[in-house]
Amino acid sequence: MELPNWLSEASPALCRCGCGGRRKGNFIEKTLRDIIKIIQEAVFSEEIALRPGFLQRLDARIKVISLIYLLIIVNLCAHLSLLWGFYLVLLAIAVSSKLPLRQVVARVWLVIPLFTGIMVLPSIFNWVRPGDPLWVIADFHHSLHLGYLSFPSVLAVTSQGLWGGIMLISRVGISVSLAVVLTLSTRWMDFLRALRTFFVPKIFIMTLEMTYRYIFVLVSAMEEMFLARKARDAGQSAPKEERRFVASAVGGLFGKSLQMSEEVYWAMTARGYSGEIRLLKGSSLCWSDVLVLSLVVLAGLILIAANKVMG
Amino acid sequence: MKGDLCLDEIFDILNVSYSYLPGYPVLSGISLSIKKGEGLVILGANGSGKSTLLKMLCGLIHPEEGKILAFGKELTEDALRDPKFLQDFRQKVGFVFQNSDAQLFSATVRDELAFAPLQAGLPKETVQKRVTDIAQLVGIGNLLDRAPYKLSGGEKKKVALACVLTVNPEVLFLDEPTNGLDPRTQFWLVEFLQALQTAGKTVIMATHDLSIVEELAQRVIIFRENHTIAADGAPLQVLTNRQLLLEVNLIHERSHFHLGGSRQHG
C-alpha cells in the first residue's frame, strides 16, 4: 500500500513555551463534563442507597407507605415547633443511616425558600392579605385606588402573613426533605418495584424501568460522541460550528435511540413478549419492617395529638 | 410440504429472499435445512445477511419470498399470532443478540433472567429456581441485583446468554457471540457452548470470527457478499478451501488462517 507523501511526514513539533495563552473551556467541554457528572451522580446515589444503614435496610414498600402517611401528617401540623422537631428527628435518622447530611439539607433549603418564597411573598403584605401590621414599609396617609381596586393607606408586613409564609416554606421544605431521604436511601429499581404493589399498572412501571435503563446507554453514547469530537478538536472551531455539532449529535442520538428501540423490541419478542408483562413477585415483608411501619404510624398520631393539644 | 420434512429436521428454509430497502436484498434465494442437535456456524463478511437469516429463523422478521418451516410448521406472522404456537415456539428458540445493551432491557439482572420463563407462563417458584440455577452455572450469582448498565462487556454477554437459557430452549441462535470479548471470556463462551451442544442443544451462530468455528461447528455455511450461499459442508472441507475464503472476503491474501492454528490449547 502506497501512502501519500503528506501522510509520511512527521507532525509539527510541540511548542513548549506556552506562548499560545489559555483558551477558555467551550460549551462542548462543559456539556461533556455535565454528561460525566450525570453518570457519576447516578452511580453515587446508588452507592448511598447500598450503604449498610437503618433506612437502607427497610423494605421500599414500607418507605413509600411511610412517605405518603408522613406527608399528610406534616401538612396537617399547624405548629412550627412540631414541624421543626419532626425535621430534626428526620435528620438524625438520615445521619444514622449514613446519608450525606449536606446533600439532604442543601438539596432542599437552597431551592425551596427561593421558589416557595417568591410564591408566598405577596401574601405577607397587608394589601394582599389583611392582618396585624408587624413592620410598616410605607404610609401614604390616604387609601389608594387603582381602577376598581382599593388599597389601605399603610403598606405593611403582617404577622399573620409572615407566619403563614414561614409555615408554608417549612411544610414544603420538610415534605421535600422526606422525599429526598426516601430517594437517597432507596435504589431507583427498588422504588419502582414498590410502586408495583400499589396498583400502578405493570406496563407503566416497566416503561419507567426501561427508560431509566436506556438513559445510561444513550448518555454513554453521547459521551463517546463528545469525546470523539474533543479528540480531534485543535481549538480552532468557531462557536457556530460547535452549535452545529451539538445539533447533529442530538440528531445522531435520536437515530441511535430509534435503532436501539427496534433491537430492544426484537429482543423482547424473541423471549416471548406478546404485549402482556409478567413480573416476579417482590420478597415478603419481615417483622422489623412491620414494626417500623407501626412506629411511624404511632409517631404520626402523636404529632397530630400534640398539634390538637397546642391548639 | 409438512410431509416432506425429515423427523430430525427442525428448520427447512426454502428459497428465501429478504430486503430491508427495496432493491437492496440482504438474502437472495437461500435454501437449506437444519437438523436437531447440529452445531451450525454461518460465516460471511459484514453485511452478507447472516444476522438477518438468524432473525428470520427466530421469527422476528419474515421472508418476502420463499418460506421457512420451523418444527414442521410454516413460520409466518400469522402463525405466530396463535398464542399456543407462539408460546411453544418462543420456548424452543433462544436468541443471543450481538448488542447486549439492546438485549438486556430489564431493571436488574434477576428480572432479566426471569423475563422469558415468566412470559412462557412458568410458575413463579420454578422461575425463581431457574434464575438461581442458571446464575450459578454461568457464574453471575453475585450480579443478580445489579443493574445491567453497571456490568462489563463480558458480564453483559454472560447475562445475555443466561437470560435466554432460563427458558431452556432447544435451539440457540447467537449473533457474533465473541464480538468485543476478552480472550478469557471467549474461551469460557466456547467451552460453555460446547457443553450445551453435548447436552443436545442445537447451536446456530453467525460470525466472521474463524477462530471459533472449528471448536463449535459440525457444519459450516458460508455467505457470499451477494447474499447467496457459497458453501455448505463440514468445517474441515470448507475452511481448508483458501480460494473460497478469499472469494467471500473472510480472509485476506496475507492472512495466515489455518485449521487448528487459531487457538492455543492448554
Instruction: Tell me phi and psi for residue B17, to 5 degrees.
Output: -130, 150
Evaluate whether B138 touches B192 at the Cβ level (below 8 Å).
Answer: yes
Q: CA nearest A31: which of A269, A223, A173, A187?
A: A223
- B144 at A interface, C-beta within 8 A: no
- Which residues in A have their CB inside 8 Å of a CB on B? 43, 46, 189, 192-193, 209-210, 212-214, 216-217, 220, 260, 263-264, 266-274, 276, 278-281
Contacts of B111 in chain A (CB under 8 A): 209, 279-280
Task: Extract the residue ranges of chain B whose pLDDT is less than 70.
Answer: 1-7, 257-266
Domain definitions of chain A by residue range: 26-39+59-232+241-267+289-303
Residues A208-252 have pLDDT tens digits of: 888 888 888 888 888 778 877 777 776 667 778 778 888 888 888
- B11 at A interface, C-beta within 8 A: no
Instruction: Tell me phi and psi for residue A22, to 5 degrees.
Output: -125, 130
Beta bridge mates, B93: B171
CA distances, B246 to each of A1, B50, B84, B217, B223 (Å):
19, 18, 46, 20, 12
Looking at per-residue confidence, does B43 or A281 come out higher? B43
Q: Cα–Cα distance between B21 and B144 in angstroms, integer? A: 40
pLDDT at B264: 44
Of all residues in chain B, what percent carry a pLDDT higher than 90?
Answer: 52
Q: What value does the mean pLDDT take over residues A181-205?
A: 84
pLDDT at B28: 93
Nearest chain A Cα distance for residue B107, angstroms: 6
Of B83, B108, B116, the CB nearest to A189: B108
**What is the DSSP secondary structure assignment for residue B258, as one 8-state letter?**
-
Q: Which sign does the torsion angle of CA A180, A182, A185, A188 carry? A: negative
Residues A194-210 have pLDDT tens digits of: 887 787 888 888 888 88
Looking at per-residue confidence, does A265 or A220 come out higher? A265
Q: With 0-12 CB in 10 A as exposed, 13-18 as middle and 19+ as buried, what is A308?
A: exposed
pLDDT at B262: 47
Please list the alpha-helical segments (H only) found in B173-260.
183-198, 213-216, 235-239, 242-247
Domain definitions of chain B by residue range: 36-59+82-247
- A278:B119 CB<8 A: yes
Average model confidence (pLDDT) for chain A? 84
pLDDT at A297: 95
Evaluate whether B210 touches B5 at the Cβ level (below 8 Å).
Answer: no
Beta bridge mates, A150: A145
Residues A91-108 have pLDDT tens digits of: 999 999 999 888 889 888
pLDDT at B31: 95
Q: What value does the mean pLDDT take over residues A120-132?
A: 87
Nearest chain B Cα distance for residue A113, angstroms: 35
Contacts of A189 in chain B (CB under 8 A): 107-108, 147
ipTM above 0.85, yes or no: no
Q: CA nearest B224: which of B32, B41, B50, B14?
A: B50
- B102 at A interface, C-beta within 8 A: yes
Q: Cα–Cα distance between B204 and A103 in angstroms, integer? A: 52
- B127 at A interface, C-beta within 8 A: yes
Of A43, A189, A274, the CB nearest to B86: A274
| Length of chain B measured in residues | 266
Interface test with A, best of B115, B131, B252, B253 (most A CBs within 10 A): B115
Q: Cα–Cα distance between B131 and B111 in angstroms, integer? A: 9
Domain B36-59+82-247: which CATH number of 3.40.190.10, 1.10.287.70, 3.40.50.2300, 3.40.50.300: 3.40.50.300
pLDDT at A234: 64
Nearest chain A Cα distance for residue B58, angstroms: 7
pLDDT at A272: 87
CA distances, A78 to each of A68, A163, A164, A167 (Å):
18, 11, 10, 8
